[in-house]
């Protein structure tokens, strides 16, 4: 807390380099935090327990009733939607007094770079949530966000946002709930490209994919331990394809970590392209726009590989490139060269 009584926190967004729709089946992912993120400033008020929230991106402030921040009312009852994530962070931190929260973000909102998780965690840290155990904070943020928006997300975003290290991706084992940093080679760069396509089906179809994976696991056992041969036991061809994405994506993620560690940028890029094919074909979470954007990126000199990142159904794609690779004007409305950044900070 500063001399003027203000507490500030920053939580980065994340981009997932490889391993999508694997976290909620206990599999592997390799995300990294990015420099874009959410800053929250908290100024405790002289009295009362209600919270007044302002956001640089929103015209109107929102007043959160005391019951939200003390956990007696669900954050899902809060409107508008963006304020629900603030309510989730407040419910996690339980500040015990009122005041003003000012939110500003450099992340594109709702584009698959974890803007909502970044907001939940920045609010929680600004309000003084304990952060000594990153896994505990990640679990608490996951539960708070699920209560706010009802989407049964895994732990990928939260762990990436709290535990990332500068210069590194994190190889997450979502079964053991462990992770280790994987340094990105000096001669590769990461570019995030916004498709401009809203993720219309993200919430409903995400839950449907998750249920399909649970159903497949009832037949063959945990997908993180299943082999491709085991999947022959699944009679339903759609279910079998969903499970094949997960099993093959886990292998690709481990191979990707090895390729990065060996400085094999071309090999890492090929695995990203294969991941895209699997997300588009077996898991059916890509879109025509995402497919075209990845194909456009792949056709450029200096691009090693490209894929949709995060839940899919629109949002952003990520490419591994040679440093300094420029995208031609007109390929996409917005793109960002990003560097692997450290996790969330308070103070
Ligand atoms: C969203 C979820 C994550 C993860 C990805 C897909 O970002 O919040 O938990 O499941 O989709 O990999």
- How many angstroms from the chain centroid is the CA of residue 131? 19
- Three-state secondary structure call for residue 105: strand
Q: Considering only CA atoms, which residue is closest to atom 11 of ligand 1?
A: 311
What is the DSSP track for 7-69? EEEEEEEEEEEE--S-GGGT-EEEEEEEEEEEEEEEEE-SS-S-EEEEETT-SS-EEEPHHHH
Rg (CA), the chain: 20
pLDDT in tens, the chain (347 residues): 554 689 999 999 999 999 999 999 999 999 999 999 999 999 998 777 889 999 999 999 999 988 888 878 888 888 898 999 999 999 999 998 899 999 999 999 888 999 999 999 999 999 999 767 999 999 999 999 998 888 889 999 999 999 999 999 999 999 999 999 999 999 999 999 999 998 766 677 999 999 999 999 999 999 999 999 999 999 999 999 999 999 999 999 999 999 999 999 999 999 999 999 999 999 999 999 999 999 999 999 999 999 999 999 999 999 999 999 999 999 998 999 999 999 999 98
Relative to beta strand 168-173, strand 178-183 is antiparallel
DSSP state of 330: T
Q: Considering only CA atoms, which residue is closest to atom 9 of ligand 1?
A: 154
Tens digits of residue pLDDT in 97-111? 899 999 999 999 888
Cα 33 to ligand 1 centre (Å): 14
What is the DSSP track for 204-225? HHHHHHHHHHHHHHHHHS-TTT
Contact residues for 147 (Cβ-Cβ < 8 A; gap 6+): 74, 75, 76, 88, 91
pTM of the model: 0.95
Tens digits of residue pLDDT in 48-58? 788 999 999 99
Q: Which of 152, 164, 171, 157 is nearest to 18 (CA)?
A: 171
Cα 112 to ligand 1 centre (Å): 9
Strand (E) or helix (H) holding 141: helix 134-149
Residues recognised as catalytic: 157
Cα 158 to ligand 1 centre (Å): 10
Site residues for ligand 1, CB cut-off 6 Å: 16, 20-21, 23-24, 153-154, 156-157, 310-311
């Amino acid at each position: 807390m500063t001399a003027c009584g203000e507490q500030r926190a920053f939580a980065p967004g994340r981009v997932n380099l490889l391993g999508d729709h694997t976290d909620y089946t206990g599999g592997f992912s390799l995300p990294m935090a990015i420099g874009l993120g959410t800053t929250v400033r908290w100024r405790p008020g002289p009295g009362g327990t209600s919270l007044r929230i302002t956001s640089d991106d929103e015209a109107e402030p929102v007043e959160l009733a005391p019951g939200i921040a003390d956990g007696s009312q669900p954050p899902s009852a809060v409107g508008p939607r963006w304020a629900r994530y603030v309510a989730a962070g407040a419910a996690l931190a339980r500040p015990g007094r009122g005041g003003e929260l000012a939110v500003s973000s450099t992340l594109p909102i709702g584009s698959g770079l974890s803007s909502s998780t970044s907001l939940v965690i920045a609010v929680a840290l600004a309000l003084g949530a304990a952060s000594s155990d990153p896994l505990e904070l990640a679990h608490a943020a996951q539960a708070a966000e699920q209560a706010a928006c009802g989407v049964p997300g895994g732990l990928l975003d939260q762990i990436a946002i709290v535990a990332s290290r500068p210069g590194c991706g994190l190889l997450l084992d979502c079964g053991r709930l462990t992770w280790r940093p994987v340094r990105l080679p000096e001669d590769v760069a990461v570019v995030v490209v916004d498709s401009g396509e809203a993720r219309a089906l993200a919430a409903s179809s995400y839950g449907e994919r998750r249920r399909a994976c649970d159903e497949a696991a009832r037949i063959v056992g945990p997908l993180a331990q299943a082999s491709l041969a085991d999947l022959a036991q699944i009679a339903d061809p759609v279910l079998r394809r969903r499970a094949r994405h997960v099993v093959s994506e886990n292998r690709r993620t481990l191979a990707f970590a090895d390729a990065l560690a060996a400085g094999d940028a071309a090999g890492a890029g090929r695995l990203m392209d294969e991941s895209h094919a699997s997300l588009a074909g077996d898991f059916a979470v890509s879109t025509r726009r995402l497919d075209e954007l990845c194909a456009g990126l792949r056709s450029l000199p200096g691009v090693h590989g490209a894929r949709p990142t995060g839940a899919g159904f629109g949002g952003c794609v990520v490419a591994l490139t040679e440093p300094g690779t420029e995208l031609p004007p007109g390929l996409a409305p917005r793109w960002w060269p990003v560097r692997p950044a450290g996790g969330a900070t308070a103070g």
